[in-house]
Structure formats: C-alpha cells, structure tokens
Amino acid sequence: QQQVKQSPQSLIVQKGGIPIINCAYENTAFDYFPWYQQFPGKGPALLIAIRPDVSEKKEGRFTISFNKSAKQFSLHIMDSQPGDSATYFCAASRRDGNNRKLIWGLGTSLAVNP
C-alpha cells in the first residue's frame, strides 16, 4: 500500500515551462512534507519542504502548494531549465514512537528540453 501517491511518473516540458508534480497522502499524522531532487549518479538531496500549517512555500524557482483539507501537495518549478532535469521525490514524515518515519513517493522523472 503506497501511503504517499506521486504523479506523474514522468514529465517532459520545454525550457521555460512550469512542470507540476502532485502528491497525495491519507494519514493525517504526517506533519512535515519534504521534496528531494536526484540527479543521475547522485543521491537525493533536499530541495524544499513544508509544514501543514502553511499553504505555500517558495524558494527561488521552486514552490510547494499545500492543501491540508484535500491532503494533497504539489511542486511547481517556474521558468524550468534543462539543468532541472532530474528525478523528484515527495515524502511525508510523522512521529513513530521516539523516531520519525519518512514515507516516500515513487518519484517523477522530469526532462526539460532546451
């Protein structure tokens, strides 16, 4: 059972376009939602993150929109560049006893054509 559903699986846009990646979750205990970016041959790296008390967060060209009532959040990349071509993962985090549990989406492979 996939607790964090991510779509689309792959996405191709032209340079300057605005790719949007969507994620949905069920468990209302999740309280932190990070996005990770992974380039080929590298490990994932934190891109941007949001907490559910905020509806939007921007960092440079990257924006997370968060809809708590719908239990959905999405990543928007403004003015996308070929260098943004990577795999993007959404995730959701919750307390699990004394630890935190991080549940990953399945990833979206983004290609930005020049």
Cβ-based neighbour number of residue 114 at 10 Å:
6
Cβ atoms 85, 11 nearer than 8 A: no
**Considering only residues 5, 22, 85, 106, which one is a binding residue for other proteins as defined by CB under 8 A?**
106
Residue whose structure tokens are 């985090």? 93
**Considering only residues 50, 74, 89, 92, which one is a binding residue for other proteins as defined by CB under 8 A?**
89
Task: Work out how close the CB of 16 gets to other proteins at its nearest, in angstroms, rounded to a whole number.
Answer: 26
Cβ-based neighbour number of residue 90 at 10 Å:
28
The three-state secondary structure class of 60 is: coil
Task: Work out how close the CB of 25 gets to other proteins at its nearest, in angstroms, rounded to a whole number.
Answer: 16
Residue whose structure tokens are 């003015």? 79
Dmax over Cα atoms in the chain, in whole Å? 47
**Considering only residues 41, 69, 70, 83, which one is a binding residue for other proteins as defined by CB under 8 A?**
41
Q: What are phi and psi of 82, to 5 degrees?
A: -55, -30
The reply on whether position 54 binds other proteins by CB under 8 A is no
The reply on whether position 25 binds other proteins by CB under 8 A is no
Task: Work out how close the CB of 46 gets to other proteins at its nearest, in angstroms, rounded to a whole number.
Answer: 4
Give the residues lining the site for other proteins (CB under 8 A): 32, 34, 36, 38, 41-46, 49, 87, 89, 93, 98-100, 102, 104, 106-107, 109
